[in-house]
Structure 1
Amino acid sequence: MTRVKKTRKTGPLAPSKKVEKDWQQPKAKSAPTKPTHKTKGHKPGSRFNPTSNKAKRQDASGNTQAHDPRHGSKKPISLVDPKQAVPVPKQPSFDRKAAMAELTSIENDERLQALLERAEDGETLNASDTKYMEERTERFSQLAEMLGIELEDDDDLDFDDEFEDDDDRS
C-alpha cells in the first residue's frame, strides 16, 4: 500500500473549531505586574543624594561637612605649568663701549659724510644712497639717545644767536 502523508487539514470526522466573536469573548485580565524581588546595589542617582546620613562627615572641630563619596584627591590641579606661564623676555644687555665704537664709526664714515654734503648742496640722490643715508642717520640718533648725548642742530644755534644780537642792540 502506498504511503499517505499527514496533513493539517481536519477531516470530516474531526471536531470543528468554534469561531468566537468579540462580544462573546470573556474579558481579559489586566497584564500581570512585575514580580517584586530583592534589588541589588544602590538606586540610580544615590551618589549625589543629600538626604543620606552617610553623606555628612564631622571633622576634628565638630563641624559637619558634606562628604563627596568619590575617591581620589580633591586638590585642584593647574592645567598650565607655572614655570612656562610667564616667560620673562630678556632685556638685551647694553654694552656702552660697543655703542660708542659704533657711534664713532658712523661719524667717521666717509661715504655718509659725502652723501650728507651732497644732500646739503641740493643734489638729488638715487634710492640706494638715500636709503643708506637715512639708515645711518637714524642709527646715529638712536645710539646718541641711548648714550645720553644731545644732538645740536646748527639751524637752532644760528636762530638763538640772532635773538641775542637783537637784545644787545636795544
Structure 2
Amino acid sequence: MTRVKKTRKTGPLAAAKKTQPEWEKQSRAKAPAKATHKNKGRKPGSRFNVSDGQRQSSRVASGQATDDPRFGSKKPIQLIRPDQLAEATKPAFDRKAALAELNAIENDDRLQALLDRADEGDELSATEARYVEERTERFAQLAEQLGIEIDDSDDVDDLEFDDEFEDDDDR
C-alpha cells in the first residue's frame, strides 16, 4: 500500500465546526468588555526608541553629548526633613552618663600606668602616646562640660607636706 502524506488543507475529512445556539451568541455579546487600562508612563523600550528630533532637542537642552537618556539629575536630594534634622543635632546633655565616663577615665588602669611611666621619664610608643592624649583630652572636655575645675599644680607639694608630718611622728 502506498503512503499518503499529511496535508494542512481542510477537506471533507476535517471536523465540522459546531454551531452555537442563538442564546449563547447573545450572552457573549452582552458580556461587558474588559476594562482598558489607561496608559501610565512611557511605552516599553521608549528610552532606546526616541525619535531623532527629540534626541537633538534634549541633548541641546541638557548640554549632554551622550545618547543614553538614562542619565538623570545630579541635584542632591535631602533625605531627612529639615525639622527632623534640627532635632537630631541638639542632643540633650546627660550629666549621669558624663559623670560615669569621667569616673571610668579616672579609674582606667592602663591610663594610670602609662601616665606613671611618662612621669618617670620613660618614652611611650606612638600608640601609647596617642591613647594617653585621647584620654586626657576627653577627660578635660568632660570636666569642662560638668563644670569641674582641674588642678594643674604638681602633686609634689602635697608629698613634701606629708613627709614633714611623717618625720614628726617618728620623734
TM range (shorter): 0.3 to 0.5
Q: TM-score scaled to structure 1, two decimals? A: 0.40
Specify which structure has the higher proportion of helix: 2
Q: Which has the higher contact order (CA 8 A, sep 6+)?
A: 2
Larger radius of gyration: 1
